[in-house]
Structure 1
Amino acid sequence: MNIYESACEKAQEGLWNCFFDEKTGVMVNHMPVREEENWIYWWHAHALDALLDGYLRKPEGEYLERFRKEYAGTYRENGNTLLHNWYDDMEWMTLALLRAWDATKDEEYKKQALFVWEDIKTAWNDACGGGMAWKKDQLDYKNTPANAPAAIIAFRLYQRFGKKEDLEWGEKIFTWNRDQLMDPETCFVWDGMNREGDGKIDKEWKFTYCQGVMLGAALEYYRITGEKEQLELAEKIARRAVVELAGEDGIFNYEGKDDCGLFRGIYFRYLYELVTAADDCDDLKKIILKNADAVSKAMREDGLVGGDWRSVSAGEIDLAQHLSGVMVLEMAAKLVKED
């Protein structure tokens, strides 16, 4: 067991022991638990992804059973459905379910992924020249969080099931996101446009989330087409994120409370996919390991990781923050094992 695998085990035990509530059968959002908790659907999609990471690393452990419990609890807590108002939330669930189907071949996960995908496709409309809407009650607001993950889904569906329509969906979503919400000179990915109905692009919103999903979409397109320009685009996005969003020490900065706590983990999940697919990415591999080292040192005795990766967090830690830490560690563990 390498040092990152040991850290993964500690962080995964912290995830389960501190956040999973046996009484309700689903994870809580904060530790310690708040008196009033809002339901945050998309965090639970990433909890499922993190448990899958553990299962793929250690199939003989308890991870698959934990995944099944959290999946059942999430389904029930969301009203006995996986449909939701936010399109990007459903996209994360679909991505997790596709990975679950890949790992287990359980037809339930495939069926639900395809069912939710049909609903996700209703996000596309002509506002802002196309693109997927962020949520059902604001159809004219288009952003990278709703588009790039949808492109990843479409490309992955095509690779698994060969349906030409999915490839066409992936191409049009990816092309819209690239042309409308990416700086053509630096390849830095902007967040969204028309949030307040004024057509403005939120260029001041700089998040690892957007970089991660867009480089992930470019990588999936490369896997289908073999076009080196797509792989090169993914590398440019990844490296620009380091310039814009990491400190001089190479550690990625905390981006803010609540949802923002999850963003770095998303970036590192897709960064791992990139460095294992491309040559000459030693600099990016070092970034993964450097941040994993920081997370390991910032982990508390109970296995929890807070928002600041340069110090041990005291007080409240939320599920989003901790999940980012788990994901970075799991990506580093895979990277070291494969090298």
Structure 2
Amino acid sequence: MKSRFKVIAGAAAIAVAATMAGAAPALAADPAATASAGATDTGRAAPADANHRHRATNAVKALVGFYNPDNGRFDPGPSWWQTGNSLQVVLDYEQRAHDRSYLPLIEQAVQTLRAPQDWWPQGGGDFRTDSTDDTGWYALAMVRLYELTHDTQYLDIAKRDEAYIHSFWDDRCGGGVIWDIPSLGYKNAISNSLYLKLAASLHNAIPGDTYYLSRATETWDWFRGSGMINADHLVNDGLTDGCVNNGGTTWTYNQGVLAGALTELWKATGDRSLLTQARQIADATISSPALSPAGVLTEPCEATRCNSDQSAFKGIFARNIAELNDVLPGHPYTPWLRTQAATAYAADRTATDLYGLKWGGPFDRSDIGRQDSGASLMVAAM
């Protein structure tokens, strides 16, 4: 994603309380997580559902407090893509909780934000901007909005976004879409994972489709052979100019989005090897001493300083692992998701349900990336 270092005119300042939650162990034991361990394919334990739904409801309510109806954004600062991520968090909540109370807000935001953006008017609107990943976040939110409303205008936006992203596929490195549109440079994991998930999602949303399925399978064939998945089953950031793995940071969202994309492609094809690959990536992340020290999901930048984009990444991992978990017999990641949620709830939350950077605590401060991440975790743990 690319940051927009400017404040949109009229964006309201968000005043947040930073009352520190009580200290907690690095990994909190959660009775709800224990209760869920025996969940079946057809449902989750009722007491755990009520507990985790309450946490998710409050976290999403706090997230919606960031929304500015004047410009349709959740984030008044530099990262335009994060409003697309915020829309996805709220829509995921609406889907999992069977709650449609935020749909008017979402639809109002979409109508405002789909206008051409002033830094990239040549995109023509509908979220088509100057990096393919930025477009991908919004396009996936539009697929979810279509699933909830059955309003084809949102599916049509997602189709236009898919065509726009695919127009930046070229034969360098054997295929793949580029990340940065002005320079036509850098083939990275996030743009291609998002595109794979988008194409597979469109196929799954359109009865009888073969067009988007062919693009999804082409993208996975390319990604699998690109070298971006390393020997440890973790996804590095991208490719060098020489078309080899650049050894870049294994950001948690790169792990999550690819696992989610493979889950979506499995729904399209029934190929269980895709779920095997997704589980390898998820398990490698969860067991990594670097990404999960003391059992708590941790962004590599947390040891120094995470920027406004990176603060959102862990919630994106949790979202996609929940999607993988939903289709697996026995829902094996439910205990992990609920233990992460219990830890963050106890150690990284204010009295007003704002979340900080480090799920193991202590709470540092609130911003849209941190809140997106915490709320997405709570929704994933429902």
| TM-score normalised to structure 2 length | 0.78
- Matched position secondary structure for 1:299: coil
Report how far residue 60 of structure 1 moved. Answer: 5.0
* Whole-Å separation in 1 of the counterparts to 2:70 and 2:270: 49
Report how far residue 203 of structure 1 moved. Answer: 1.5
* Whole-Å separation in 2 of the counterparts to 1:198 and 1:68: 43
1:178 maps to which residue?
224
Runs (5+) with no aligned partner, structure 2: 1-48, 119-124
User: Which of residues 78, 92, 98 in structure 1 aligns to 2:117?
Assistant: 78
Report how far residue 66 of structure 1 moved. Answer: 2.0
1:27 maps to which residue?
74
* Whole-Å separation in 1 of the counterparts to 2:179 and 2:187: 6
Q: Kindly indicate which of the two structures has a greater share of residues assigned to helix.
A: 1
- Matched position secondary structure for 1:110: helix
* Whole-Å separation in 2 of the counterparts to 1:58 and 1:285: 16
Q: Check conservation: 2:230, 2:236, Cα contact below 8 A.
A: no
Q: Kindly indicate which of the two structures has a greater share of residues assigned to strand.
A: 1
* Whole-Å separation in 1 of the counterparts to 2:200 and 2:103: 26
Q: Check conservation: 2:285, 2:292, Cα contact below 8 A.
A: no
**Which stretch of the first structure deviates more once superposed, 106-115 or 94-103?**
106-115
User: Map of 1:95-244 to 2, 5 A cutoff?
Assistant: 95-161=140-206, 162-183=208-229, 185-194=231-240, 197=241, 199=243, 201-244=245-288
Work out which structure has the larger RCO, using CA pairs closer than 8 Å and 6 or more positions apart in sequence: 2
Report how far residue 135 of structure 1 moved. Answer: 2.1
The Cα RMSD (Å) is 2.1
- Matched position secondary structure for 1:135: coil
How many pairs align?
Answer: 320
1:319 maps to which residue?
368
Summarize the Cα distance change of 1:320–1:104 in structure 2 as closer, same or farther, 3 Å threshold.
Answer: same
- Matched position secondary structure for 2:354: coil
Runs (5+) with no aligned partner, structure 1: 30-36, 334-339
2:57 maps to which residue?
9
* Whole-Å separation in 2 of the counterparts to 1:60 and 1:198: 48
Counterpart code for 1:13:
K
Report how far residue 41 of structure 1 moved. Answer: 2.4
- State the percentage of identical aligned residues: 23
Alignment deviations for residues 61-82 of structure 1 (CA, whole Å, 9 cap, x no partner): 6311221233234334835542
2:92 maps to which residue?
53
1:44 maps to which residue?
83
1:32 maps to which residue?
none
Summarize the Cα distance change of 1:184–1:193 in structure 2 as closer, same or farther, 3 Å threshold.
Answer: closer
- Matched position secondary structure for 1:111: helix
* Whole-Å separation in 2 of the counterparts to 1:176 and 1:184: 15
| TM-score normalised to structure 1 length | 0.87
* Whole-Å separation in 1 of the counterparts to 2:138 and 2:69: 22
- Matched position secondary structure for 1:53: helix
* Whole-Å separation in 1 of the counterparts to 2:279 and 2:237: 19
**Which stretch of the first structure deviates more once superposed, 42-51 or 131-140?**
131-140
2:32 maps to which residue?
none
- Matched position secondary structure for 1:258: coil
* Whole-Å separation in 2 of the counterparts to 1:264 and 1:240: 15
* Whole-Å separation in 1 of the counterparts to 2:175 and 2:360: 41
